[in-house]
Structures are given as C-alpha cells and as structure tokens.
A and B are shown apart, each in its own frame.
Chain A
Amino acid sequence: MKTPEQVAAGVYKNILLIIIVLLLISGVSSTFNVDYRGLSISDLTAKFYLLGIPAAMMAITILMLIRGEKNLALAGGFISLMWIVFRWIG
C-alpha cells in the first residue's frame, strides 16, 4: 500500500505535467499575441497555472479522506478552505 507521501507525489507529478503544458501554451501565445474573441490565451492559461497548488491540495485532501487518513485530510481540507475563503475575500 502506498504511503501518503507517495500518493501526494503522484498528485504533484500530474499537476507538474499539466502546468508545464499550460505554461508552454501561455509562452507561445504570449510571444505571438494569440487571442480568441479578444480574450488573451496567454493570460487565461497563466491564470489556470496559478490554480496548480490549490488543486493539488484539494486532490490530496480527497485522496487522504478516501484512505481514512483523517488528520491529513483535515489539514489539507483546512488549507484548501482557507485558499477558497481568501480568494473570495481578495
């Protein structure tokens, strides 16, 4: 059975692949000023990139909850909740 750290490593590896793709799209579209109906693709993908760590925290929380690691799920859930609350407050 995988340890919580190995589970989190899997989450972080997937997030890393996703953000690399997003950043490459952002970089290319920024260089060539690509937009879709006035919406900058570079800005949009950069904003999605910034969701990487909060998304990882949420995924880790759910996975720990499923595994019955209540303390880790609680801590991860608290951090995720704080991100949502602070993002909402601004």
Chain B
Amino acid sequence: MIPQQLLIFLLTAVVGFLSSLLGVGGGVLLVPIFTLILKLPIHEAIALSLSCVMATSITSSSKYLASGLIDLKAVLYLETVTVVASYLAGKAAGLISDQAIALAFSTMLIVSAVLMILSKTEAKSIGHFSFRGYPPALGASVLAGGLVGFLGVGGGIIKVPIVQLLLGKPVKEAVACSGMMIGISAAIGIIPYMSRGELPLNWIAFAALGTILGSYLGSKIFHKIESSVIKFMFAVLLIYTAVTMAIKTMGK
C-alpha cells in the first residue's frame, strides 16, 4: 500500500510540474494515471483529478498573483459564466451524444493549436481594464464551461487560448490566468461527484500533495522559460489531446 501511495505522489508531482508550466489542470494525464494505477472507476478518477487541479491552481496562483502575472478582473469576470455553464452542462451531460461533442472539441483544439503556433507577434499586456475582447471571451467561456461539464477535461486547454487570443494577453499571463481559473471551475465541477459519493477521499492527500510539490517547482522556473517554448509545448499538448480524443471517439 505504501509504495503505491508513494508512486501516486511522484507521478502527480510530475503532472503538477507540467500543469503549472502550461496553465492546464492536468486532467488528461491524471485521469489515465488514476484509472490504470489505482484501478479507479472513470468517474472516481475524474473526481480525484479535479481535486488535484484545485491543488495545482492554489499553488501556482499564489505565486503568479504575487508576480503580477494574473489579471484578477479577467479571471473573476470570465469565471462567472464558466462556473454556471460548467455545472449546468455537467447536469445535462446525458442528453447530448458524447461522440458528437468530443469530435467538435477535438476540432476546436486543433484550430486553437494552429492559431497559437501561427501567431508570431507577442501580445503586449493591456495594463488596465478594458472591455475590448470581453464579449467574445465571455461567449467562449460559456462554450468552455459547457465542454468541461460535458467532457470532464479541458479547462486550461480552452482557457489559455481564450485569454491569449481574445483578451490579447501575452502567453505567460494567459497561462497564469488560466491556472487560477481552472481551480475555480474544478471547485464547482467536483460538486456533482461529491454528491454522488464518487470522490475517493483516501487518495486525495497523496495525489494533491504531489501536485502541490510539482506545481510549486514549475512556478519557480516559469520565469526562466521563454514564452515561445511554453507556446510550443502548449500547442503540442493541444494537438495530442485532440488526436487522443478523436481516436477514442471513433473507437466507440
């Protein structure tokens, strides 16, 4: 029992490290780890993954907020619609075909990845609050929340491009904002799983402590990495997620 707990701690530390650098929750990596190693049912794996996302978010946000990389207005305004959409979509998930949504999701991820790679100019921070870009960003956040609720993954994958492309933030600020937003979404998204008793409480400590350690180390070296490297890593992650989802969907 102890070695398995240690293994989970180490694996979640690695995922937390990558998640902190990329502004994603790490659900795409955590869910397979929990289902394959802990042999948890998929719903419990998703719930445990969401609890780790919260840990990653708190750790990285405490650092990024102090560094001035997070625009609190952008985070809170976008999350007002995301949390509602996420919860409602999660409740209504059974009414719409998973395959149809997953294919649309994969397509959108690939488009986002291509746009991110092609955008050569680095956006400058606006520096003060502006409504420019917010209406489409709020609309996209509703879509993001809906997709997260239906699919259980994809918070940061969608939010980084929203903040970068629609609000005109540099990629590092987009990653930092996304890192804070995914935690808020996860705190709401985990509620239905808790209500159904699908959250394995005994694993939370080891998984969450691992992600805290990993994301702390990730946020430490975040400033030393070039934006272009983060952008490239994120684009690769987007394409990987899109292809994986498309293959899984076609396999059903």
Contacts and interface: CB of A to CB of B under 8 A. Distances in A.
Nearest to B59: A16
**Contact residues on A (Cβ < 8 Å of other chain), bracket:** 35 or more
Q: Which residue, A12, A27, A56, has most C-beta atoms of chain B within 10 A? A: A12
Contacts of A6: 65-66
A49 B209 CA distance: 11
A50 B201 CA distance: 10
Nearest to A54: B187
Interface of A: 3-6, 8-9, 12-13, 15-16, 19-20, 23-24, 26-27, 30-31, 40, 42-43, 45-47, 49-50, 52-54, 56-57, 71-72, 75-76, 78-79, 82-83, 86-87, 90
A46 B204 contact: yes
A49 B208 contact: yes
**Contact residues on B (Cβ < 8 Å of other chain), bracket:** 35 or more
Given A19-B212, A31-B5, 4 more contacts: A16-B58, A23-B55, A72-B73, A87-B191
B228 interface: no
A82 B58 contact: no
Given A79-B79, A86-B87, A5 B205 contact: no
Interface of B: 2, 5, 51, 54-55, 57-59, 61-62, 65-66, 68, 70-73, 76-77, 79-80, 83-84, 87, 183-184, 186-188, 190-192, 194-195, 201-202, 204-206, 208-209, 212
Contacts, number: 124
Given A9-B65, A53-B57, A90-B191, A43 B70 contact: no
B212 A23 contact: yes
Q: Which residue, A26, A47, A79, has most C-beta atoms of chain B within 10 A? A: A79
B116 to A, nearest CB: 25
A86 B186 CA distance: 13
